[in-house]
Amino acid sequence: MNNITQGLIAAGHQVQVISVNTPKHFVDINSLPAWYREQTNIKFGFIDTEVKIFAALQNLLFSNRSYNLSRFEDKDFEQLIIDSLKETDYDIVLLESVFLKSYVPVIRAYSKAKVVLRAHNVEFMIWERMAEQERAFLRKQYLKILAKRFKREEQQCLNSFDAICAITENDKKIYQNLGCTIPIEVIPSGPDVHKMTDAVDNSALEYPSVFHIGALDWLPNREGLTWFLDNVWNTISKEFPELKFYIAGRGDASWLDASKYTNVVFLGEITDAADFIMSKAIMVVPLFSGSGMRIKIIEGMMLGKAIVSTGIGVEGINAENGYDILLADTATEFSNHLRHLVMDKDLFDRIAQNAQIKAQTHYSHKVLTNKLSRFLDSI
């Protein structure tokens, strides 16, 4: 979202950021650089989005609403939006994710601005896929209910916007199949290509090494990492006793006991993601649920990493199996790819170099921002 904000400002647009502040990802506005606060006139509205067991149970038994979505509905945040709309005559209100859909009627009531949804994921698919992977019966049924309710509300709101920016072609097709009739454009996400490629420095590369970086409190990441550690790393670490697996990312990782595994180095939240990625060799993305697009894969490609990912992990990304990425959906495939990358430095270099060229060609931050600007102008 920050890359989009900075890209639009660099393209000459006036941008104001109004952000939800949550207990999970709380930001003190005074901790932000002064230039950023001035540039964006950022405002925060606090919403307590913590999952509460009683509220979740009450929702399950006495409502047909999506509990995931209803947690983001807040009168104080609504008033913050109203006040901002009264202060400024906006042309576009860009909503970052469907979780803010409940504020569309308020925006309509207080502004003539076009309302555009930038859909980071087809959200209900994340829950459908988690339900498919779940083995515990009761939890599986609960996830199915969450997915069904989310799908209904996500489908019902699609045509309430003036336009939608989808992250992937697959997401666009899903929305259209759900009855979306408004303008919809595929505009991928990407990091700042110049910032990323200027930072490339392989002098500190630890080869061979394996790493994963991502939000550790996001259920699909937790699910995938647990599977990888139990089904892949336990095998590979025996074959290569000197090989290390580094895990980095913010969020609650109390579920992860790195001491149970050989040569697993848990780093938690790190200061500089680019520095961390540059220092390691083989990125693994064991994702079995989720939707949208994994920006960390694009970052890894731009920084010249060899990446092993599931098919779901690489959805929406222009990558070719065996050329600039290696795909694996089973423990055997993951193990074989890792084995080859560890033993064959030429293979590692070839995959990594091809990935870097592909990312720089297709995911330039300037190209993506210009595409978004043209789409916003068109509506």
- pLDDT tens digits, one per residue of 91-105: 999 999 999 999 999
* Whole-number percent of the chain with pLDDT over 70: 96
Pairing of strands 92-96, 114-119: parallel
Backbone φ, ψ for residue 195 (5° rounding): -60, -40
Residue 225 pLDDT > 80, yes or no?
Answer: yes
In the predicted model, what is the mean pLDDT of residues 190-200? 58
φ/ψ of residue 306, rounded to 5: -90, 125
**Count of beta carbons in the 10 Å neighbourhood of residue 377:** 9
- For the chain, percent of residues with pLDDT exceeding 90: 74
Q: How far is 200 from 357, CA to CA, in rounded Å?
A: 13
Does the bond joining 208 to the residue before it have cis omega, within 30 degrees of 0? yes
Cβ–Cβ under 8 Å, residues 324 and 283: no
- How many angstroms separate the CA atoms of 318 and 279, rounded? 24
pLDDT grade for 1, boundaries at 50, 70 and 90: confident
CA 308/CA 338 separation, integer angstroms = 8
Spatial neighbors of 162 by CB under 8 A, at least 6 apart, are 114, 115, 116, 182, 183, 379
Q: Which of the listed ranges 119-133, 248-262, 335-349 does the model predict with the highest average pLDDT? A: 335-349
Q: Euclidean distance between the first and final Cα of the chain, in Å? A: 21
pLDDT at residue number 129: 85
What is the tens place of the pLDDT at every residue in 311-364?
A: 999 988 889 999 999 999 999 999 999 999 999 999 999 999 999 999 888 887
Whether 203 has a pLDDT exceeding 80, the answer reads no
For 257-274, what is each residue's pLDDT tens digit?
999 999 999 999 998 888
pLDDT of 199 reads: 53
- Burial of residue 125 (CB within 10 Å: 0-12, 13-18, 19+) is buried
pLDDT band for position 75 (50/70/90)? Answer: very high
**What pLDDT, on the 0 to 100 scale, is given for residue 218?**
86
How far is residue 119's CA from residue 99's CA, in Å, rounded to a whole number? 10
Are the CB atoms for 45 and 20 separated by under 8 Å?
Answer: yes
When the pLDDT of each residue in the chain is averaged and rounded to a whole number, the result is 92
pLDDT range class, residue 201, cuts 50, 70, 90 = low
pLDDT of the residue at 193 = 52
pLDDT higher than 60, residue 200: no
Residue 292 backbone class (left: φ over 0; alpha: ψ -120 to 50; beta: rest): left
Question: Can you give the pLDDT at residue 343?
Answer: 97
Note the pLDDT of residue 375: 95
Edge-first strand listing for the sheet containing 114-119: 92-96, 114-119, 163-166, 184-186
Cα 203 to chain centroid, rounded: 29
Cut 0.75: pTM above it: no
**Homologous superfamily in CATH for domain 194-362:** Glycogen Phosphorylase B; (3.40.50.2000)
Name the token pair of 179.
């009855």
- In angstroms, the Cα distances linking 228 to 180, 231, 245, 332 are 37, 5, 11, 11
Q: Domain 2-190+365-378 belongs to what topology?
A: Rossmann fold (3.40.50)
Structural domain boundaries in the chain: 2-190+365-378, 194-362
Question: Is residue 165 over pLDDT 60?
Answer: yes
